[in-house]
Amino acid sequence: METERKKPSKWLIAVLAIASAVIAASVVTLIRSGDGSAAAPARDETPDLSANPVDPDRTDPNPSGPEWTTAEFQSLALPVSKTGGPFDLSDGRARGFAHTELGAVAAAIHLPARVSGPAGPNIFEPSIAEQTTGPYKTDLAITQARIYESERLQYGVPYGDPTPMSATVEAYKIDRYRPAAAKITLLMRGQGVVISSPVSLAWEGDEWKLIAPAAGSFSEGTENPDPSAFVMFEKVN
């Protein structure tokens, strides 16, 4: 089937949700939300996959078994990399990503899940404030607050509680990686639709941060992408 460009009106990755499950038996997330606005272009960084500095203080010193395990986030089972993180999942947040390719992949999954409206204001507000960057950061906060209020009323959810999230992330592709920036594309499935969606990241301070998309909406995607271009997540036992 021919690949078709699509800007879905009700999808946010995931993490978006989150924001790496693993080969056939794992679940990661795509989160509903957003409108049809165009996403921000990724930074124009030339790929350099040989540049992969590892901070030993931010990695698992004794990794064993599959690279990916899972951790619960609200109703989702999100993948966690043994070497890439996130290493801090306290208070519903996701922090502590390694300064590596897998750290960037993990951030591309967990950060969109936490900055999306359906995560609820107790999660998306501090996550946007502390873990996003770029000229559209304020737009992201405004857009996701509007999305949350709309979905909260739709589902009859008390203010502060999260709204429903669904779908899975099945694979990833590292489009660009440098120590200062990365672009990761996730292959996601939900509600009978398979799409790929890019996530742009920047390394600031000692953490990966999400580059907020244009108009604060995660809406760029390709429907029915070629799965052979992606790396499936390892199976979690």
- The model's pLDDT over 158-173, given as tens digits with 9 standing for 90+, comes to 999 999 887 677 889 9
pLDDT attached to residue 173: 93
Q: Of the ranges 20-24, 30-34, 36-40, 233-237, which is most confident? A: 233-237
What does the block give as tokens for 233?
Answer: 């997540």
> How many Cα atoms occupy the beta-carbon half-sphere of 69 within 13 Å?
12
Cα distance between residue 192 and residue 135, in whole Å:
34
Cα distance between residue 236 and residue 110, in whole Å:
17
pLDDT attached to residue 165: 81
Cα distance between residue 52 and residue 57, in whole Å:
15
Residue scoring higher pLDDT (209 or 224): 209
Averaged pLDDT for residues 98-125: 95
pLDDT exceeding 90 applies to what percent of the chain?
47
Q: pTM score, two decimals?
A: 0.73
Q: Of 108, 149, 147, which is closest to residue 131 (Cα–Cα)?
A: 108
Cα distance between residue 195 and residue 138, in whole Å:
27
Q: Of the ranges 39-43, 153-157, 224-228, which is most confident? A: 153-157
